[in-house]
């Protein structure tokens, strides 16, 4: 057996307030997060949106202590995973590759190469696949691999999604029942799954399996919970002017309040760590909305973080991958056929005269938009909901 590594993929988050703007720039510079008709516009628009969104976003990070806990929690997950694998007799090096902040995926891959890793398991820390999350990280890895023949010698296995993995489902059900059992009547609490949203066009036009995987995941968790409680799946964290998956979390909360629900047990479902959208958006913003709407009992199920049943499940997935190595990058290619991961490739990229004219015009629109924002503080980016 050669040197073995596990690459954990995650989003990354700003560790201090000064990091927020450059973090947002990296995020919006990703065509998997915001789609533009031309790649030439990506960076100017990312600059525009990150510059104008930074102060609002910083306010949110201030409310959770001034930075994202994502790096710390991901490192703790990595250590726990390493220890579990060691118990199983596997000596594995763990690497963390974040998409938009330190430690970047590029750094992790450089280290993997330097360490002479021969067998690698690539495990995204997103249970459900989305073009905007795991898809974006896979696209980056694909590029790094194509550019470097040394990486092509590594025997890798990629786990595209694992929302139906029995240990993960069990772990989620455990945390939900623990929270239900704190209620005066555990059977009446309404279980409210709040998933991170994506624009509807990702699902309907680009074929993102995210919504399908999410709905299936919720069904599996409810079966494992095995209680008579009612439940809802809603989508949070909408950004920008386009339509996102519905129902929106805030609307669903108000709807349940109108029906007289007293106890809401909120379950963050698309992400395995605490982060800004659990600690700030759910715990502060949605709690306020619920309480104003008349829901007295607002309860939140914690994120999995290093919950042992979850860590063991990740470990078991890694072992399974090592025992039956399949080059899932070729499966990912399969996935790309089904799921048009890169729909922007459809439009002709490059300096066609048409593109140049439009890039010029759109850049001008962007520049005017920024001027308006700066002068009035209520320009088009506010109106579009990007700030
Ligand atoms: C599975 C989880 C996630 C999906 C799907 C997702 C899609 C998605 N996100 C944005 C825009 C933003 N996301 C931001 C932060 C953020 N997003 C996720 C997860 C998913 N995003 C996490 C875990 C985090 C937080 C990281 C942290 O700091 O703890 C942000 C920045 C925060 C803010 O300013 O609100 C933006 C912006 C889009 C547009 C999108 C799908 C297209
Ligand atoms: Fe996000
Ligand atoms: Fe948010």
The response to whether residue 211 sits with its C-beta less than 6 Å from ligand 1 reads: no
For residue 200, give both structure tokens: 């509807």
The response to whether residue 38 sits with its C-beta less than 6 Å from ligand 1 reads: no
Task: Please check the confidence at residue 211 and state whether its pLDDT lies above 70.
Answer: yes
**Domain residue limits, the chain:** 166-300
Atom of ligand 1 nearest to the CA of 32: 42
The domain made up of 166-300 has a fold known as: Rossmann fold (3.40.50)
| Cα–Cα distance for residue pair 106/302, rounded to 1 Å | 31
pTM of the entire structure? 0.88
- pLDDT confidence of residue 2: 77
The response to whether residue 275 sits with its C-beta less than 6 Å from ligand 1 reads: yes
Note the pLDDT tens digit of each residue in 255-265: 999 999 999 99
The response to whether residue 13 sits with its C-beta less than 6 Å from ligand 1 reads: yes
For residues 378-382, give the mean pLDDT.
52
Q: What average pLDDT does the chain have? A: 87
Q: What percent of the chain has pLDDT over 70?
A: 83
Summarize the annotated binding site for Fe(2+) as residue ranges: 196, 277
Test site for ligand 1: of 276, 279, 381, 386, most ligand atoms within 8 A of the Cβ: 276
Cβ contact 135:341 at 8 Å = yes
Task: Find the ligand nearest to 236 CA.
Answer: 3
- pLDDT confidence of residue 241: 84
Note the pLDDT tens digit of each residue in 49-58: 999 999 999 9
Note the pLDDT tens digit of each residue in 137-184: 999 999 999 999 999 999 999 999 999 999 999 999 999 999 999 999
Task: Please check the confidence at residue 364 and state whether its pLDDT lies above 50.
Answer: no
What is the Å distance from ligand 2's center to 335 Cα? Answer: 22
Closest-CA residue, ligand 1 atom 42, reads 33
The response to whether residue 57 sits with its C-beta less than 6 Å from ligand 1 reads: yes
What is the Å distance from ligand 3's center to 55 Cα? Answer: 13
**ipTM reported for the complex, 2 dp:** 0.91
What is the Å distance from ligand 2's center to 282 Cα? Answer: 14
- Residue 308: closest CA among 141, 83, 156, 100: 83
- pLDDT confidence of residue 373: 52
Residue ranges of E strands in the chain: 4-10, 93-98, 119-124, 155-158, 190-196, 231-236, 263-268, 297-300
The response to whether residue 21 sits with its C-beta less than 6 Å from ligand 1 reads: no
For residue 68, what pLDDT band results from cuts at 50, 70 and 90? very high
Cβ contact 176:299 at 8 Å = no
For residue 231, what pLDDT band results from cuts at 50, 70 and 90? very high
Task: Please check the confidence at residue 273 and state whether its pLDDT lies above 90.
Answer: yes
Note the pLDDT tens digit of each residue in 72-131: 999 999 999 999 999 999 999 999 999 999 999 999 999 999 999 999 999 999 999 999
| Cα–Cα distance for residue pair 233/260, rounded to 1 Å | 18
For residue 325, what pLDDT band results from cuts at 50, 70 and 90? low
The response to whether residue 270 sits with its C-beta less than 6 Å from ligand 1 reads: yes
């Amino acid at each position: 057996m050669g040197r073995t590594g596990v690459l954990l993929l995650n989003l990354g988050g700003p560790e201090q307030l000064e990091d927020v703007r450059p973090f947002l720039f990296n995020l919006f510079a990703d065509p998997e997060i915001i789609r533009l008709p031309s790649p030439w516009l990506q960076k100017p628009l990312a600059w525009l949106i990150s510059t104008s969104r930074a102060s609002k976003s910083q306010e949110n990070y201030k409310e959770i202590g001034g930075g994202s806990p994502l790096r710390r929690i991901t490192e703790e997950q990595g250590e726990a995973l390493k220890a579990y694998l060691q118990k199983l007799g596997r000596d594995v090096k763990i690497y963390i590759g974040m998409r938009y902040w330190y430690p970047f995926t590029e750094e992790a891959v450089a280290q993997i190469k330097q360490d002479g890793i021969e067998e690698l398991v690539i495990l995204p820390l997103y249970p459900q696949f989305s073009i905007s999350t795991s898809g974006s990280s896979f696209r980056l890895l694909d590029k790094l691999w194509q550019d470097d023949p040394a990486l092509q010698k590594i025997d890798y296995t990629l786990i595209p999604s694992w929302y139906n993995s029995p240990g993960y489902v069990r772990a989620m059900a455990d945390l939900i029942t623990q929270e239900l059992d704190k209620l005066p009547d555990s059977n009446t609490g309404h279980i409210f799954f709040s998933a991170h949203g994506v624009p509807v066009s990702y699902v309907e036009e680009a074929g993102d399996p995210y919504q399908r995987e999410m709905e299936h995941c919720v069904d599996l968790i409810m079966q494992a919970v095995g209680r008579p409680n009612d439940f809802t799946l809603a989508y949070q964290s909408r950004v920008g002017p386009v339509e996102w998956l519905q129902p929106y979390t805030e609307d669903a909360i108000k709807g349940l309040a109108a029906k007289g629900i007293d106890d809401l047990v909120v379950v963050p479902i698309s992400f395995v760590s605490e982060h800004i959208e659990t600690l700030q958006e759910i715990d502060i913003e949605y709690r306020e909305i619920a309480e104003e709407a008349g829901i007295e009992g607002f309860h939140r199920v914690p994120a999995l973080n290093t919950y042992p049943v979850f860590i063991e499940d990740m470990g078991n997935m890694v072992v399974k991958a090592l025992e039956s190595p399949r080059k899932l990058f070729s499966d990912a290619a399969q996935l790309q056929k089904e799921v048009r991961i890169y729909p922007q490739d459809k439009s002709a990229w490059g300096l066609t005269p048409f593109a140049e004219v439009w890039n010029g015009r759109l850049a001008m629109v962007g520049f005017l938009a920024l001027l308006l924002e700066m002068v009035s503080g209520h320009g088009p980016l506010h109106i579009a909901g990007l700030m």
